[in-house]
Amino acid sequence: YNAVGILTSGGDSSGMNPAIRSIVRAALNSGVKQVFGVRRGYQGLVSDDITLMSSRSVTNIVQKGGTVLKSARCPEFSDPSVRDVAARNLSSRGIEALVVIGGDGSLTGAHILCQEHGIPVIGLPGTIDNDIPGTDDTIGFDTAVNTAVEAIDRIRDTARSHERLFLVEVMGRNSGFIATQVGIACGAEMVVVPEYAFDFHDLCITLAERHSKGQGSSGIIVVAEGRDPDLTHRLAAQLKAQGQDPKISILGHIQRGGSPSGHDRMLASCLGTAAVEYLLAGYSDIMVGVHKGAIVDVPLQRVIEEKKVLDRKLFDIAALLHK
Ligand code: ATP
């Protein structure tokens, strides 16, 4: 290829910057003549907000959160006539292929662009939610888990000092990957996720048992944000009706940013390099991910159609270990 483009799209995640850096440098060091950065995801592709990148332009970003290319949601990209504009902008600059870093929505956009306009695309899983099929891990997940764990450790100090029950809501869209890992790592008394049934009665029994054993009424319940935005507040109301006095803490956007963990920097650097290797080997319409420690390529069609399942075993471990 003479020229390839990179964009970051959807929710930002820590590790997008090391991914950008590795794609730029791997491409330029492998003979690609020009690498272009598209700003604000698909929005920049449509508005032609595209800049030339160099090895120097990605200096000193490996440790930075967010994305230097900026990210955006661009709902108009579902419109074929808008995608025509994007394809024209790419071809007018001689950009022959595109690497897209983002979540399932962003990878869907990449797949459609490839199918419709024959533009070679490679996707990288970039989301804190870890909800992308075909890869065990996504760029930003580890950092988000670490951030939430650190925050909950602090909340735990207050919970114990004041013998209080805390409901801590973590991110994860419609999945419970963050909640489950955070729950295990923090020794949460309970984890509530969209994937598996939650027994409120069981929670009340657990809390009563803890109380009778003299363990006080302190505790942490980790709740995945899920599909129901009121779940955490409803749970708090139900617990109040049972005589508890729970506090709510919604961690929110602190989970998305921050300096990427060593793990996420490694993952992003390896996946970014692999994306260039696959592209130069003639692959397209795939995502590069990791499975059992090895880099794998997954057809974007499969990424879009499948749903990643939260390991029941992990969820059971969270439930088993708090007693
Ligand atoms: P995150 O998981 O962090 O939220 P995401 O990539 O899933 O990231 P979305 O908002 O779902 O975030 O998608 C990002 C962008 O991808 C959308 O704003 C849109 O530009 C593009 N996109 C999503 N779905 C489609 C689609 N069906 N067709 C074309 N483009 C799409």
Ligand 1 atom with the shortest distance to the CA of 129:
2
Please give the pLDDT value at position 215: 67
Please give the pLDDT value at position 275: 98
47 half-sphere exposure, CB direction, 13 A CA radius: 10
Instruction: Tell whether ligand 1 has an atom less than 6 A from the beta carbon of residue 42.
Output: yes
Test site for ligand 1: of 13, 67, 98, 108, most ligand atoms within 8 A of the Cβ: 108
Instruction: Tell whether ligand 1 has an atom less than 6 A from the beta carbon of residue 105.
Output: yes
- What is the chain's pLDDT, residue by residue, as a tens digit (323 residues)? 999 999 999 999 999 999 999 999 999 999 999 999 999 999 999 999 999 999 999 999 999 999 999 999 999 999 999 999 999 999 999 999 999 999 999 999 999 999 999 999 999 999 999 999 999 999 999 999 999 999 999 999 999 999 899 999 999 999 999 999 999 999 998 999 999 987 788 888 877 777 777 766 789 999 999 888 899 999 999 999 888 889 999 999 999 999 999 999 999 999 999 999 999 999 999 999 999 999 999 999 999 999 999 999 999 998 888 76
Ligand 1 atom with the shortest distance to the CA of 76:
20
The residue nearest atom 10 of ligand 1, judged by CA position, is 10
Closest CA to 318 of 196, 201, 172: 196
How far apart are the C-alpha atoms of 259 and 261, rounded to whole Å? 6
Please give the pLDDT value at position 203: 80
Contact 7, 98 (CB under 8 A): yes
Test site for ligand 1: of 77, 143, 177, most ligand atoms within 8 A of the Cβ: 77
The residue nearest atom 18 of ligand 1, judged by CA position, is 73
Catalytic position from the list 129, 142, 285, 297: 129
Instruction: Tell whether ligand 1 has an atom less than 6 A from the beta carbon of residue 106.
Output: yes
202 is catalytic: no
Q: Which residue has the tokens 């300096």?
A: 259
The residue nearest atom 5 of ligand 1, judged by CA position, is 103
Instruction: Tell whether ligand 1 has an atom less than 6 A from the beta carbon of residue 11.
Output: yes
Residue 89 CA to ligand 1 centre (angstroms): 20
Instruction: Tell whether ligand 1 has an atom less than 6 A from the beta carbon of residue 103.
Output: yes
Test site for ligand 1: of 7, 8, 9, 131, most ligand atoms within 8 A of the Cβ: 9
Instruction: Tell whether ligand 1 has an atom less than 6 A from the beta carbon of residue 14.
Output: no
How far apart are the C-alpha atoms of 45 and 310, rounded to whole Å? 34
Would you say the ipTM is above 0.90? yes
